[in-house]
Amino acid sequence: MIQVAAAVIIKDGQCLITRRAPGQNLAGLWEFPGGKLEPGETPEDCLKRELCEELSIKISVGRFIAESRFGYPSGSIHLLAYQATWESGKLQLSVHDDYAWVASNKLLEYSYPPADEPILQAIIQGGWLR
């Protein structure tokens, strides 16, 4: 099972989501930025590394929000979502083709990979965007 970490970055009551670029697995779907954990890496360190590499931003990682497990045809993942704070840097896309800041009442208007659905519900039901 592949271990994946996702950052739920909240600013002014909105959440940052990114869209997977054409040519990638699950292209065109929106997600919380993050990526696969490397051997021996913590989810928190993974998020700091991935967001620096993929979005050119530095974050601090806060509380654990939720997790999900999902089996895709390409393999199963264990997704761990954490609240994160954007500390510095200007967002620049490298592996995504778009991003959006989305209010809680608009989050479900976007299409996400199935593994992200429990995370979405936890964010909305837990009042993370208030």
CA angle 87, 106, 129 (to 5 degrees): 45
Q: Is 31 annotated as a binding residue?
A: yes
Q: Is 20 annotated as a binding residue?
A: yes
Q: Determine the Cα–Cα distance for residues 4 and 35; give it in Å rounded to an integer.
A: 5
H/E stretch holding 100 reads: strand 96-103
Other beta carbons within 10 angstroms of residue 77's beta carbon come to: 19
Helix (H, G, I), strand (E, B) or coil at 101: strand
CA angle 10, 13, 14 (to 5 degrees): 60
Q: Residues annotated as binding site for 8-oxo-dGTP?
A: 20, 31-34
Q: Residues annotated as binding site?
A: 20, 31-34, 54
Q: Residues annotated as binding site for Mg(2+)?
A: 34, 54
